[in-house]
Amino acid sequence: MLLLALDTATPAVTAALHDGTSVVAAHSQVDARRHGELLLPAVDRVLTEAGLRLDAVTGIVVGVGPGPYTGLRVGLMTADTFGLALGVPVYGLCTLDGLAYAAGGAAGIEGPFVVATDARRKEVYWARYADSRTRLTEPAVDRPGELDIGGLPAVGAGALLYPDTFPDAREPEHVSAASLASLAAERLAAGEEMEAPRPLYLRRPDAQVPKNYKVVTPK
């Protein structure tokens, strides 16, 4: 097994390779405005580092968000197209699940906690977790002031950004493709069903139906 994982749902542009046992190469760069430019070179870099070619990959894992749409689509479109060109399956994973997985690993959070990322417009994308592998709620987008998480530990940039709502905010700040790859490898090994690689936008497109045309004749 060789999984290539990608995520562009947060300011981190991140790619990793996982051979079914461990992460063999990973690269992340935080730059919220350059997902489109940075992702392919990141993929190229992890492959070069591992001494492998893309056609060795047996599956693609992609973070499906939730995340700001323009960046989010870069990862999804790249994953979809890799899948088409290579003829390998493309698996979606909730980006928050990747953060949760990392929270249980390096950050060592064991009990219930919350993951929150920055949704911009003074909102967060968030979900509750029983542990690093078990999400309790559907991902949602809300104003932090309207949330009461009861002082649970919280990870992610959204938690670090709003200390009033998330008093026990901790690292990691951003998702890493390495965590997504490890989580996917675990789930695949356990024979679990994987999600489809479809975006979690959680918001409707901004679109105003124009009112009746503007009258241009002076009254």
Partner 1 sequence: MADEPLVLGIETSCDETGVGIVRGTTLLADAIASSVDEHARFGGVVPEVASRAHLEAMVPTIERALKEAGVSARDLDGISVTAGPGLAGALLVGVSAAKAYAYALGKPLYGVNHLASHICVDQLEHGPLPEPTMALLVSGGHSSLLLSSDITSDVRPMGATIDDAAGEAFDKIARVLNLGFPGGPVIDRYAKEGDPRAIAFPRGLTGPRDAAYDFSFSGLKTAVARWIEAKRAAGEDVPVRDVAASFQEAVVDVLTRKAVRACRDEGVDHLMIGGGVAANSRLRVLAQERCEAAGITLRVPRPKLCTDNGAMVAALGAEMVARGRDASDWDLSADSSLPVTDPHVPGRSHAHGHSHSHDHVHEVSKGNLYS
Q: What are phi and psi of 52, to 5 degrees?
A: -125, 160
Q: Does 32 bind partner 1 (CB under 8 A)?
A: no
Count the helices and strands in the chain (H runs, E runs): 5, 11
Q: Does 73 bind partner 1 (CB under 8 A)?
A: yes
Can you say whether the dihedral through the CA atoms of 187, 189, 195, 198 is positive or negative?
A: positive
Q: Which helix (H) or strand (E) holds 93?
A: strand 90-93
Q: Does 67 bind partner 1 (CB under 8 A)?
A: no
Q: Does 76 bind partner 1 (CB under 8 A)?
A: yes
* Contact positions with partner 1 (CB under 8 A) in 126-165: none
* Contact positions with partner 1 (CB under 8 A) in 167-206: 199, 201, 205-206
Q: Does 209 bind partner 1 (CB under 8 A)?
A: yes
Q: Is 211 exposed, middle or buried (0-12, 13-18, 19+ CB in 10 A)?
A: exposed
> Which of 73-81, 113-121, 151-159, 162-170 is the region at the interface with partner 1 (rule: CB under 8 A)?
73-81
Q: How far is the CB of 44 from partner 1 (least distance, A)?
A: 5
The number of C-alpha atoms within 13 Å of 6 and in the hemisphere containing its C-beta is 33
Q: Does 89 bind partner 1 (CB under 8 A)?
A: no
- CA–CA separation, 130 and 151 (whole Å): 14
The type of residue at 68 is P
> Which of 37-45, 107-115, 156-164, 174-182 is the region at the interface with partner 1 (rule: CB under 8 A)?
37-45
Contact residues toward partner 1 (CB under 8 A) are 34, 36-41, 43-44, 47-48, 51-55, 69-70, 73-74, 76-86, 199, 201, 205-210, 213, 215-217
